């Protein structure tokens, strides 16, 4: 039995007390992967951004909002885990300043300064040693090229490529890329997709 760290859902980056920057991720894929791992007999720690989903049964869950909160939560548990499956759609940028008061409309234009968020999976993979790290890549063009570049630059063992159509959908498909190889799964319900992905990873890794 192995102990997996899974990240899921979007992050929210606060603009003011009532507004935030985020994305269309529902968290369904990450939560389905947690269920598949538990069904396969493994321990799971889920670090989840905001979703409307029912928490997976048998999983230790840590709820977060921002990318910085997600990174801190992951660092806290990563040392006790054997593998990471990073599914979360983490915001690449956050506002340079978050207003403590609601931002009022005063003009026809408003400029926002954004700063880069940390690359969570890259930071964790840099500390992996012999542990397994699986990432996800959502691309709209040149998907395999960009995904393979990410896999190499972030020191990942596998990267799962999907498209913008996967966001919020009940069904999807994945291209699971490893060094010099690829494996297609789907089009199917995300619960089935997750079960097949977990089975493939467990079969082809030393976890």
Q: Measure CA 125 to chain center.
A: 13
Residues 99-108: what's their mean pLDDT? 94
How sure is the predictor about 140, in pLDDT bands with cuts at 50, 70 and 90?
A: confident
Residue with tokens 């966001």: 167
**Any catalytic annotation for residue 23?**
yes
How sure is the predictor about 21, in pLDDT bands with cuts at 50, 70 and 90?
A: very high
Pairing of strands 114-116, 60-63: unpaired
How sure is the predictor about 99, in pLDDT bands with cuts at 50, 70 and 90?
A: very high
From the candidates 23, 63, 155, 204, which is the catalytic residue? 23
Helix (H) or strand (E) holding 77: helix 67-78
pLDDT digits (tens, 9 = 90+) for 36-84: 999 999 999 999 999 999 999 999 999 999 999 999 999 999 999 999 9
Q: Measure CA 67 to chain center.
A: 11
| pLDDT score, position 154 | 97
6 in Cβ contact with 30 (< 8 Å): yes
Class of domain 3-95+112-203 (CATH, top level): alpha beta
3-state secondary structure of 145: helix
| pLDDT score, position 167 | 85
Burial class (CB in 10 A: 0-12, 13-18, 19+), 115: exposed
The residue with greater pLDDT, 142 or 11, is 11
Burial class (CB in 10 A: 0-12, 13-18, 19+), 183: middle
Mean pLDDT rounded to a whole number for the chain: 96
pLDDT digits (tens, 9 = 90+) for 152-197: 999 999 999 998 888 888 899 999 999 989 999 999 999 999 999 9
The residue with greater pLDDT, 77 or 139, is 77
| pLDDT score, position 168 | 81
160 in Cβ contact with 137 (< 8 Å): yes
């Amino acid at each position: 039995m192995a102990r997996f760290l899974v990240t899921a859902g979007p992050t929210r980056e606060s603009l003011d007390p009532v507004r935030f920057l985020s994305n269309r991720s529902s968290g369904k894929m990450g939560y389905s992967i947690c269920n598949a791992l538990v069904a396969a007999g493994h321990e799971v720690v889920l670090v989840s951004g905001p979703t409307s989903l029912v928490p997976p049964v048998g999983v230790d869950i840590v709820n977060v909002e921002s990318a910085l909160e997600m990174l801190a939560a992951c660092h806290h548990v990563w040392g006790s885990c054997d593998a990471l499956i990073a599914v979360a759609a983490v915001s690449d940028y956050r506002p340079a300043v978050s207003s403590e008061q609601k931002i009022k409309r005063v003009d026809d234009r408003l400029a926002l300064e954004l700063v880069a968020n940390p690359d969570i999976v890259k930071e964790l993979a840099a500390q992996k040693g012999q542990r397994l790290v699986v990432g996800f890549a959502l691309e709209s063009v040149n998907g395999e090229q960009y995904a393979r570049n990410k896999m190499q630059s972030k020191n990942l063992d596998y990267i799962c490529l999907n498209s913008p159509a996967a966001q919020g959908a009940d069904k999807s498909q994945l291209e699971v890329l490893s060094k010099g190889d690829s494996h297609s799964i789907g089009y199917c319900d995300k619960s089935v997709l997750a079960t097949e992905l977990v089975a493939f990873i467990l079969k082809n890794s030393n976890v």
